[in-house]
Amino acid sequence: MKLNRFIKLIFVILLSMTTLTMAKSAKTLDHDANMAINKFISENKSADAFLVKAKAFLVFPEIKEAGFFVGGKYGEGVLRVQRTTKGYYSMTAASVGMQMGAQKYSMIIAFTTDEALNKFLLADDEWDTEVDGKIAVAEWNSKEELDKDYKDPMVAFVFDSKGLMGSFSMEGTKFEKLKK
């Protein structure tokens, strides 16, 4: 019985987060992605060279995350291949554990190998990081240069964070292709 209530609570949290941010048009999402890329590049002088070298990258201009023992996050993003938009995706996650707070941030996930990109593109409109792949979260700051030779097939950069959240985890995150 407690499990049923827990599942309903997660569903309500994710539904409310999805409803609040889902109204973005493709044009607005592209504009927001461009602004996020510009912010990322302005914070690190080697970011542009890294993105040019990447096979592709997903840009999530705004991800909203909240939790109090049970949490969730949601964001909509743009897949860019050679700086050209190839599709729109949503990211949804639910989590349980010691967590508390709310935050919003931007994230860029760079695909550094053709294999990782193809695995993502060939997924049937849905891709789960826990099942299909692991994403390395890069640690960096504005005074460091990005390592242009990451060994991981997917590297995530989190930036422009506002708010306070007890933890950050990519586990249980699902990416879904949007029809825009």
pLDDT tens column, 149-158: 567 888 888 8
Containing domain of residue 73, as a range? 2-178
Positive or negative: CA dihedral 37, 121, 94, 5: positive
| pLDDT of res. 150 | 65
* Domains contained in the chain, number: 1
Give Cα 7 distance to the centre of its chain. 23
- Nearest-angstrom CA–CA distance, 33 and 87: 12
For 6, phi then psi, to 5°, come to: -60, -45
Range with the poorest average pLDDT among 39-53, 98-112, 123-137: 123-137
- Which is more confident, 141 or 42? 42
Sole residue written with tokens 């994230």: 107
Q: How confident is the model over 7-63, as pLDDT tens digits?
A: 666 666 655 555 454 557 889 999 999 999 999 999 888 889 889 999 999 999 999
Q: Residue 26 is inside which H or E element, if any?
A: helix 26-43
Residue 86 CB-half CA count within 13 A: 13
Cα–Cα nearest to 124, from 135, 113, 132, 112 = 132
The end-to-end CA distance of the chain, in Å, is: 39
What is residue 143's three-state secondary structure? coil
Question: Is the pLDDT at 130 greater than 50, yes or no?
Answer: no
